[in-house]
């Protein structure tokens, strides 16, 4: 009989909330954030453990990365091969990790952002430090093992890492609603900090920073806000300002060049290419005329970006410009978030070290308990063998008189002689006195005869002496926290001696870069924009030489100064501002740049109504006219604003701006509707309003009609527009001037 189906009714929002919380916690705890104890994310931990299980040690041959990735994915991390390989690659990159944990063989990417080769081409093995300080003693029950995803394997809940990896290598990860960003630190300094904490658990952050000076990035550089580090390390949150390292070199002809030998940690990868482009942009935008050339001469030997300067250039000012306008000075956001006791927690420097030290005591306790248990077992067996050697003749007689091992073992452990034949009665009495333990009896029964040689017996006695010394040592370590601390510190000293390296990042207080703005020479220029929206700037002399062609080929020709701005009025009622300096300055036949690439103007949903230089706009009055026949005059001074985009007028719903043009009070305005109705009024009849007013009605339109065009006629102007799709025209200047807000005349 089939089981009865059960329906559980519940609120949908509750199901969604619970499911989302479960998902979020899974991402936070089991994927994106490192554990404070070993400083590793699950994917990193599983990859290293799998390499350990596969026997890919530092002194063994390299193995294909694809083998490591496949084995890790099949046994421990079922989240796709790319995440595992990416973790493997990053752990091998010395420009990302202060202490690489994997020894990569092949193309594992570069500091300039080149990706690693496919996993089928690369090989890897564990680094020596990983094997010694991250994976040692896994066989001594120092950490708990938990079932893997399908409960067919066991994996360590955390690796027995002996050094504070979370500080040495740092960490980056984005979870749900939170992210971690911990900078790397110097190996030796962190070890010294741990030792200082173990000697003085009440140490504060300021005292700890006597040992751990600040971040030590693999790329070097200069931390420029030393005074802010105390606050960052106290709270675990803040911003570290990092600069690249610059050297000045002399060139032939009295020139100088700026050589960048170290970059900020945040510039790793695509940031180098972006930096080069940013320097090009400084030259293109005329922010400096002193940079002649830039070349990236970086190699395996290190970073070397050379910026060649013009003779007599102010190198210090150029350096400050690079700090100010490019990523040569950048900010590393610190958020020291890690999983502690199963939940995410933001910690300062001292709490992180406290968690690490507590973990070290736990590891040492479990290790020496396991070692002590083994030594006690050895002691028991050794003492049994030593006792057996003294009565070896009796034991041989017992074995010869036994029918099976069970009877012999019973005699050795309990003195039961009922099933054993003895040659002498005295032997039987002596055998009844035997009280070996189970383990001792098993060892005696398995003992080989050569163990009875005199030298072997001496070796057994020496081995027993050593076992007793070990037991005494392990008991002392387990009963005395000071003795355990001494052992941990001795281990740390050994790691520091072998794996320490000089600090790469300089910690200092550096004044903020100040750039002396170059004096821009003001010249007359002409802005040209063709009907496709491509704009460029030429000097006035070039325009005059090509005036006829320029006027014929371009939709807008605007004479202004190079320091001016261009006002772009669009049909949506917006005004976009564009600096003339942002437009490409060049030759008359240059193509130019699309104007919507340089401003907020969006050609997909708006089009030009009028373009003019700001200096011209603010000196005149402008008429605004819309599709629904709303008119107004606006003083151009109202458009002298600093925003890149601002509302130039207020429009009713579904209305559209048709015209913006400068007017004189003695001119006239002609409105043409879609139904071929015309109305001519004087400019004087249109009131002057603020730019955010809707305006007044110009023509009274019939139902379903709207304006097709609005014309401004200065005195003496003559216009004959085409309309209706036929060869018809209307002489606008001959239309009778009527009152505003009337119906007009149909043509």
pLDDT in tens, 317-340: 899 999 998 999 999 999 999 999
Q: Are 526 and 538 in contact (CB under 8 A)?
A: yes
Copy the structure tokens of residue 495. Answer: 């790691």
Q: What is the CATH number of the domain that holds 387?
A: 1.10.268.10
Q: How far is the C-alpha of 168 from the C-alpha of 174, rounded, in Å?
A: 20
111, 130, 159 — which closes off a domain? 159
Q: Where are the beta strands (DSSP E) in 469-601?
A: 506-507, 524-529, 534-539, 556-561, 565-570, 574-579, 593-594
Question: Strands across the sheet with 102-105, in order?
Answer: 63-64, 123-126, 102-105
- Kindly give, in sequence order, each residue whose CB lies less than 8 Å from that of residue 276, ignoring residues fewer than 6 positions away: 294, 296, 305
Q: How far is the C-alpha of 242 from the C-alpha of 469, rounded, in Å?
A: 53
Q: How far is the C-alpha of 251 from the C-alpha of 247, rounded, in Å?
A: 13
Q: How far is the C-alpha of 286 from the C-alpha of 520, rounded, in Å?
A: 9
Q: Are 482 and 544 members of one domain?
A: no
pLDDT of 24 reads 67
Q: Give the three-state DSSP class for 494.
A: helix
Copy the structure tokens of residue 632. Answer: 């107004």
Q: Are 403 and 460 members of one domain?
A: yes
Q: Are 312 and 372 members of one domain?
A: no
Alpha-carbon Rg for the chain in angstroms = 42
Q: Are 245 and 221 in contact (CB under 8 A)?
A: yes
Q: Are 84 and 47 in contact (CB under 8 A)?
A: yes
Q: How far is the C-alpha of 201 from the C-alpha of 207, rounded, in Å?
A: 11
Q: Are 543 and 443 members of one domain?
A: no
Q: How far is the C-alpha of 52 from the C-alpha of 86, rounded, in Å?
A: 18
Closest CA to 340 of 29, 52, 131, 55: 29
The β-bridge relationship of strands 677-682 and 745-746 is antiparallel
Q: What is the CATH number of the domain that holds 86?
A: 3.90.199.10
Q: Are 617 and 678 members of one domain?
A: yes
Q: Where are the beta strands (DSSP E) in 237-369?
A: 237-243, 245-250, 256-262, 291-296, 305-309, 329-335, 337-340, 343-346
pLDDT of 519 reads 67
Is 665 inside any structural domain? yes
Is 153 inside any structural domain? yes
**Number of domains the chain contains:** 4
Closest CA to 206 of 334, 349, 36, 336: 349
The pTM of the full predicted model, rounded to 2 decimals, is 0.73
Q: Are 288 and 321 in contact (CB under 8 A)?
A: yes
Is 171 inside any structural domain? no
Q: How far is the C-alpha of 245 from the C-alpha of 129, rounded, in Å?
A: 30
Is 479 inside any structural domain? yes
Q: Are 564 and 614 members of one domain?
A: yes
User: In terms of residue numbers, what domain contains 149?
Assistant: 40-159
Q: How far is the C-alpha of 104 from the C-alpha of 89, rounded, in Å?
A: 8
DSSP 687: P
Q: Give the three-state DSSP class for 297.
A: coil
Q: Report in angstroms the alpha-carbon separations of 451 from 47, 386, 393, 417, 446.
A: 45, 11, 14, 26, 11
Closest CA to 659 of 685, 640, 634: 634
Q: Are 528 and 585 members of one domain?
A: yes
282, 309, 327 — which closes off a domain? 327
Copy the structure tokens of residue 627. Answer: 């599709």
Q: Which residues pair with 593 in a beta bridge?
A: 535
Q: Are 708 and 672 in contact (CB under 8 A)?
A: yes
Q: How far is the C-alpha of 687 from the C-alpha of 689, rounded, in Å?
A: 6
pLDDT of 1 reads 43
Is 210 inside any structural domain? no
**Tokens 């170290």, located at residue:** 262
pLDDT of 122 reads 97
Q: Are 477 and 528 members of one domain?
A: no
Segment holding 608, helix H or strand E = strand 608-613
Q: What is the CATH number of the domain that holds 671?
A: 2.120.10.90
Q: How far is the C-alpha of 735 from the C-alpha of 680, rounded, in Å?
A: 6
- Kindly give, in sequence order, each residue whose CB lies less than 8 Å from that of residue 676, ignoring residues fewer than 6 positions away: 723, 724, 746, 747
pLDDT of 306 reads 94
Segment holding 269, helix H or strand E = none
Helix axes 81-92, 65-75, angle to 10 degrees: 130
The β-bridge relationship of strands 630-635 and 621-626 is antiparallel
Q: What is the CATH number of the domain that holds 299?
A: 3.30.1360.40
Is 295 inside any structural domain? yes
Q: Are 713 and 732 in contact (CB under 8 A)?
A: yes
Q: Are 263 and 389 members of one domain?
A: no
Q: Are 294 and 284 in contact (CB under 8 A)?
A: no
Cα 542–chain centre separation: 49
Is 170 inside any structural domain? no
Q: How far is the C-alpha of 179 from the C-alpha of 215, rounded, in Å?
A: 19
Cα 13–chain centre separation: 34
Closest CA to 378 of 501, 298, 474: 474
Q: Are 627 and 565 members of one domain?
A: yes
Q: Which residues pair with 633 in a beta bridge?
A: 623, 688
275, 310, 327 — which closes off a domain? 327
Q: Are 404 and 488 members of one domain?
A: yes
Q: Are 377 and 492 members of one domain?
A: yes
Return the HEC string of 415-473.
Answer: CCCCCCCCCCHHHHHHHHCCCCCHHHHHHHHHCCHHHHCHHHHHHHHHHHHHHHHHHHH
Is 176 inside any structural domain? no
Q: Are 710 and 670 in contact (CB under 8 A)?
A: yes
User: Would you please indicate which residues are annotated as catalytic (active-site) residues?
Assistant: 121
pLDDT of 232 reads 96
pLDDT of 517 reads 60
Q: Are 216 and 184 in contact (CB under 8 A)?
A: yes
Helix axes 349-390, 481-499, angle to 10 degrees: 110
Q: Which residues pair with 295 in a beta bridge?
A: 306
The ranges of the chain with pLDDT < 70 are 1-4, 22, 24-30, 451-452, 454-455, 515-519, 716-728
Q: Per this entry, what is the length of the chain?
A: 747
Q: How far is the C-alpha of 262 from the C-alpha of 91, rounded, in Å?
A: 21
Copy the structure tokens of residue 589. Answer: 């036949």
The number of beta carbons lying within 10 Å of the beta carbon of residue 694 is 17
Q: Are 595 and 528 in contact (CB under 8 A)?
A: no
Q: How far is the C-alpha of 52 from the C-alpha of 125, rounded, in Å?
A: 9
Q: Give the three-state DSSP class for 674.
A: coil
pLDDT of 724 reads 52
pLDDT of 512 reads 78
DSSP 32: I
Copy the structure tokens of residue 260. Answer: 């960048």
Copy the structure tokens of residue 102. Answer: 């994997």
């Amino acid at each position: 009989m089939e089981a009865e189906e059960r329906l559980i009714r519940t609120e949908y929002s509750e199901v969604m909330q619970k499911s989302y919380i479960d998902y979020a916690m899974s991402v936070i705890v089991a994927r994106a954030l490192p554990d404070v104890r070993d400083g590793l994310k699950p994917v990193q931990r599983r990859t290293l453990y799998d390499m350990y299980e596969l026997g890919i040690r530092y002194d063994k041959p390299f193995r294909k990365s694809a083998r490591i990735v496949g084995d890790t994915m099949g046994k421990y991390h079922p989240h796709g091969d790319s995440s595992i390989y990416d973790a493997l690659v990053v752990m091998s990159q010395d420009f990302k990790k202060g202490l690489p944990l994997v020894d990569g063989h092949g193309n594992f990417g570069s500091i300039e952002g080149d990706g690693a080769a496919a996993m089928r081409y690369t090989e890897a093995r564990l680094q020596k430090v990983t094997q010694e300080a991250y994976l040692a003693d896994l066989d001594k029950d120092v950490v708990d093992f938990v079932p893997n995803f399908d409960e067919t394997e066991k994996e360590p809940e955390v690796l027995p890492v002996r050094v504070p990896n979370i500080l040495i290598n740092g960490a980056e990860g984005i979870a749900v609603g939170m992210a971690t960003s911990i900078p790397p630190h110097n190996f030796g300094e962190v070890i010294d900090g741990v030792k200082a904490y173990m000697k003085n658990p009440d140490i504060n952050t300021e005292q700890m920073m006597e040992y751990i000076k600040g971040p030590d990035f693999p790329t070097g550089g200069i931390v420029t806000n030393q005074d802010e580090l105390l606050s960052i390390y106290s709270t675990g949150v803040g911003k570290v300002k990092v600069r690249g390292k610059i050297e000045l070199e002399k060139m032939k002809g009295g020139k100088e060049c700026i050589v960048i030998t170290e970059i900020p940690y945040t510039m790793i990868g695509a940031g180098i290419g972006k930096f080069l482009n940013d320097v090009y942009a400084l030259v293109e935008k005329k922010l400096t005329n002193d940079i002649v050339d830039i070349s990236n001469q970086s190699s395996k030997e290190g970073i070397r970006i050379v910026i060649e300067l013009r003779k007599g250039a102010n190198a210090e000012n150029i350096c400050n410009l690079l700090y100010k306008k490019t990523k040569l000075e950048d900010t590393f956001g610190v958020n020291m978030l890690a999983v502690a006791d199963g939940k995410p927690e933001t910690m300062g420097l001292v709490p992180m070290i406290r968690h690490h030290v507590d973990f070290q005591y736990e590891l040492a306790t479990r290790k020496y308990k396991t070692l002590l248990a083994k030594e006690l077992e050895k002691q028991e067996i050794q003492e049994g063998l030593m006792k057996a050697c003294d009565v070896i003749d009796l034991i041989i007689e017992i074995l010869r008189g036994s029918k099976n091992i069970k009877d012999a073992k019973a005699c050795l452990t309990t003195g039961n002689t009922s099933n054993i034949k003895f040659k002498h009665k005295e032997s039987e009495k002596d055998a009844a006195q035997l009280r070996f333990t189970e383990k001792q009896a098993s060892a005696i029964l398995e003992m080989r005869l050569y163990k009875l040689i005199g030298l072997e017996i001496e070796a057994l006695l020496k081995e027993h002496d050593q076992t007793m010394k070990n037991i005494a040592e392990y008991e002392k370590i387990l009963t005395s926290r000071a003795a355990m601390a001494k052992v941990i510190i001795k281990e740390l000293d050994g790691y520091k001696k072998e794996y320490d390296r000089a600090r790469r990042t300089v910690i200092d207080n550096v004044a903020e870069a100040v750039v002396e703005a170059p004096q821009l020479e003001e010249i007359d220029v002409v802005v040209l924009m063709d009907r496709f929206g491509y704009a460029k700037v030429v000097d006035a002399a070039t325009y005059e030489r090509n005036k006829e062609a320029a006027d014929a080929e371009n939709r807008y020709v605007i004479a202004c100064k190079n320091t001016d701005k261009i006002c772009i009025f669009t049909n949506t009622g917006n005004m976009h501002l564009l600096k003339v300096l942002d437009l490409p300055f060049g030759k008359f036949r240059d193509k130019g740049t699309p104007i919507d690439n340089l401003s907020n103007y969006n050609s997909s949903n708006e089009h030009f109504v009028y373009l003019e230089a700001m200096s011209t706009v603010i000196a005149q009055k402008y008429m605004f006219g819309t599709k629904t026949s709303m008119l107004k005059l606006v003083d151009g001074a109202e458009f002298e604003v600093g925003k890149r985009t601002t509302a130039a007028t207020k429009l009713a719903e579904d209305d559209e701006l048709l015209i913006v043009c400068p007017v004189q009070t003695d001119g006239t305005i002609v409105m043409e509707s879609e139904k071929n109705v015309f109305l001519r009024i004087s400019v004087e009849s249109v009131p002057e309003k603020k730019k955010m007013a809707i305006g007044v009605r110009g023509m009274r339109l019939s139902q379903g009609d709207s304006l097709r065009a609005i014309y401004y006629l200065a005195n003496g102007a003559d216009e004959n527009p085409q309309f209706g799709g036929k060869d018809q025209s209307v002489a606008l200047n001959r239309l009778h001037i009527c009152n505003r807000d009337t119906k007009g005349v149909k043509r």
